[in-house]
Structure 1
């Protein structure tokens, strides 16, 4: 019965993170200690198969499986599909490994950034907060309709659709588009 109640609570928590929530309700720390890494979690979810293939092609599996902590703004397959036709196959070619690595590390921030902390930073900086990514480039975070929106250096916009998926080496925030550095 206890396991069933816990499973029920976890199911509700996972479903709740998929909904549009007021900014104050975006942080979800359920106290359970995560047992998988960012890469293991992504590899276990079919919605991230393109991301996982890209991480493998860029030889970033070891890095993103390391101790971290990392914050990953993880685009879904649909986010990759929204790129111009041919972009993903071109990036996955061995001769484009450096460019692919730059694109992927543009989605990673050193440290564990919870949604509530990011929202607080946005609010403390007059509605826009600049994030420096592992690639050395920047994203600008803002709020729109109670959701965090990331604007890349080219003016592209991605919306955070699911927040605070805690892993043993960091946190994943799911985004609906791929952000691109200049």
Structure 2
């Protein structure tokens, strides 16, 4: 609701999709028709981790079905980008990045409309593998958030350029977070 309010206040259009109709190959999309993402062409996309995992599984399944050269090219491109993303090798940027984008990842990006620039994820922890997958294949950073009803949704949110996994980022300026020892968990253990 907070994200919707911000978007509406900024004058942005909002489109709603269903997990069963998100992509052209989703379960409830009739043959010959388009999925929600293809029609809406979202630039920011908000989803829970289960949806992101479903997107990842769908792409991996399609790549496995194609097999052969497509599968090998995908694996090479993905592994090169993953190494660059983790900072262990910087060669997958520049010209090589452009080639992989055109040859391998463009078609994958089109599954979510082709215009995706940012994803917002919340509601549960997102796996590191799924986060890296979206960063690499969709070319979009994922902002992870943590919050409660009591904090009007957001309490902590990751920075847009933070590629680290397993964290939701610092507290928002409007929130104070206090760690309290509880049961066998101690603040000193953190």
* TM-score, normalised with respect to structure 2: 0.27
Between 1 and 2, higher relative CO (CA 8 Å, sep ≥ 6) is seen in 1
Q: Which is strand-richer, 1 or 2?
A: 1
Q: Which has the larger radius of gyration?
A: 2
